[in-house]
Amino acid sequence: MNAPHLTENEHRRIACIAESYARLTGRPLVADSDADPVEALWRAPMAIVAHGTEADPIFFFGNRTALVLFEMDFDEFRRLPSRFSAEPLLREERARLLERVTKNGIIADYAGVRISASGRRFRIANASVWNLTDRRGNAVGQAAAFSEWIEMTATT
């Protein structure tokens, strides 16, 4: 899967994912720090997703690992309200998580069930979720990264 073609504004917005993480933790999100940050995020073996600050936040980025898990292409994913990445019964839990992230800036212990476009469910674990801020400290969204997931069966 090739990296998507991005406008300059989209490129800056996506680069903010890695920049915000580094500001909060003092560590790079991805190891390939010499590469273009957006290309490094795209190629990362962990799933990385981010949504904006809309009243009903919409994803603006999912890397190739995330797109495979969610069974979508980049353009489809960028139209998805992030609440639809969780099952309806788990959306209240997800809302509590996002409130915790808003308050603390970052958490590194999130686990939950996500749902792909085909309805396939997978459980993520040890996910980091953090606030995205521009260089002036203005909130521009939230992001998540995870490298642990388990496919679920109907009885799981």
Give CA–CA dist 145/41, Å, rounded: 10
Are residues 98 and 105 in contact, defined by beta-carbon separation less than 8 angstroms? Answer: no
Instruction: Please write the tens of the pLDDT for every residue from 19-28.
Output: 999 999 999 9
DSSP 81: B
Enter the pTM of the model: 0.90
pLDDT for position 45:
95
CATH architecture of the region 8-151? 2-Layer Sandwich (3.30)
Give CA–CA dist 124/151, Å, rounded: 9
3-state secondary structure 46-68: CEEEEECCCCCCEEEEECHHHHH
Domain residue spans of the chain = 8-151
